[in-house]
Amino acid sequence: MAMQCKVCTSSLQGRIDAALLAGETVASVQRAHPSFTDSAIRRHYRNHVQATIISKVANLPGLDTADLVLRLVQLANDAMGVRNQAVAQRNGSATLRAANAELGILRELIQTLGIDDTDVHVYMQEAQALAGAAGAVAQEHPEFGALLIAELRETSPELASGFEALSAARALPKPEQDPPHDIQDTHSPSPTAPRS
């Protein structure tokens, strides 16, 4: 009868997998999770983690630049998570290895994108100009704004909610506009009230 993998049935599997994928040694992962033996973690890595990686790589379509960038960003986020966990556990060597892995991934990302400091500044200015133009068009054409928000909900929910909040704020009367007729200003004299 086959033995069940103790790591796979543990609530710590995600952390262990992330550490192994970030390049942690089996020994350092075992020290961080002493409830598992070296051999249990090694078997898990050999039988499950590597198999998962191989199956994912085998099923990957051809990569374009956007896919590569997204994968690098995900790897950087994973490495940052491992680094943060190592810091929390006060594991100095694991922290240094994870930080080094994260730095390498970020360098690769920057090189892949061909970004330098001036490019980032230009991209940010262009993004602000694009957002301003989209907001101006949406203000004049609410149907465009609704379509834009619907599209952004799929790809960028935070940006969609930002546009929704902006459009709701623009729907409110502006301070320099006259208030609606049913609201009376109690601070200024009524035009029909006698002056003293």
pLDDT digits (tens, 9 = 90+) for 95-137: 777 777 888 777 777 776 666 666 666 776 777 777 777 777 7
From CA 11, how far away is CA 92, in angstroms rounded? Answer: 24
**How many CA atoms, within 13 angstroms, populate the side-chain half-sphere of residue 70?**
5
Do 95 and 87 meet the contact criterion of CB atoms below 8 Å apart?
yes
Q: Is residue 104 part of a domain?
A: yes
Residue 89 has a pLDDT of: 86
Per the prediction, the chain carries an average pLDDT of: 75
Q: Is residue 22 part of a domain?
A: yes
Residue 174 has a pLDDT of: 45
Residue 31 has a pLDDT of: 93
Mean pLDDT within 41-59: 78
Domain that holds residue 17: 13-50+64-113
Q: Is residue 4 part of a domain?
A: no
Tokens 């099923």 — which residue?
A: 59
Mean pLDDT within 77-103: 81
Q: Is the pLDDT of residue 3 over 80?
A: no
106, 83: one domain: yes
Q: How many structural domains are present in the chain?
A: 2
Comparison of pLDDT for 7 and 139, the residue scoring more: 7
Q: Is residue 178 part of a domain?
A: no
pTM of the complete model: 0.32
* CB-based contacts of 76, cutoff 8 Å, min separation 6: 102, 105, 106, 109
Compute φ and ψ for 72, nearest 5 degrees: -65, -40
147-192 pLDDT, tens per residue? 888 888 888 777 777 777 766 665 545 445 444 554 444 554 555 5
- How far are the Cα atoms of 5, 55, 84 from residue 194, in angstroms, in the given order? 90, 86, 72
Q: Report the 10 Å Cβ neighbour count for 114.
A: 8
DSSP H/E element including 36: none
From CA 145, how far away is CA 130, in angstroms rounded? Answer: 14
- How far are the Cα atoms of 24, 45, 65, 126 from residue 40, in angstroms, in the given order? 15, 9, 38, 52
19, 85: one domain: yes
102, 39: one domain: yes
Q: With cut-offs at 50, 70 and 90, classify the pLDDT of residue 59.
A: low
